[in-house]
Structure 1
């Protein structure tokens, strides 16, 4: 039987934040810990989702597609960088 290990996160809050969290937890019939874990987990998932997705306008998407389908010729800086990379390998 596997044992679920619980991890701790210690926080220091000012009085106003603590009161606000306690009130919100009570209003949602959750313990303070449940409220904080649920709220932080939801927000974390939103932030991760936002950072994993890239939303482009149609015009921007068309520019990306055009750059992929018709890449420009490498300029001298890119050629020098490629040469340095080959020398490092």
Structure 2
């Protein structure tokens, strides 16, 4: 048995939502399960991609690039953290 068939999700739907989803699944020539898994997987991938990608406007991008190119001098807390890390090694 494949991993997909070992997992189960139970949903509670209104009659109207269930009818709508069943109709859409039928129009796609899919079972209700196939349709729901397909739609949920596609949407999940979109949400994950949106959260993994950082989109900046031009001004913010320039500030980030400037900070990378010209990093500030390390402050005392950063120096202490680097020393603790070095002591561990």
Q: TM-score, normalised by structure 1?
A: 0.79
Deviations 1:46-84 (A, max 9, x none): 122212311001000000011011110000000001111
1: CA distance, partners of 2:37 / 2:10: 15
> What is the root-mean-square deviation in Å for CA atoms of aligned residues?
2.2
2: CA distance, partners of 1:6 / 1:88: 42
Q: Does 1:28 align with 2:25?
A: no
Q: Number of paired residues?
A: 86
Q: What does 1:6-17 align with in structure 2 at a 5 Å threshold?
A: 6-8=3-5, 9-16=7-14
2: CA distance, partners of 1:15 / 1:42: 20
2: CA distance, partners of 1:45 / 1:26: 24
Question: What secondary structure, in the 3-state scheme, does the structure 2 residue paired with 1:7 have?
Answer: helix
In structure 2, the gaps of 5 or more residues are none
Deviations 1:15-55 (A, max 9, x none): 41762533432343321111012101211221222123110
Bigger helix fraction:
2
Aligned residue in 2 for 1:72: 72
Relative distance call for 1:49 and 1:15 in structure 2 (3 A) is closer
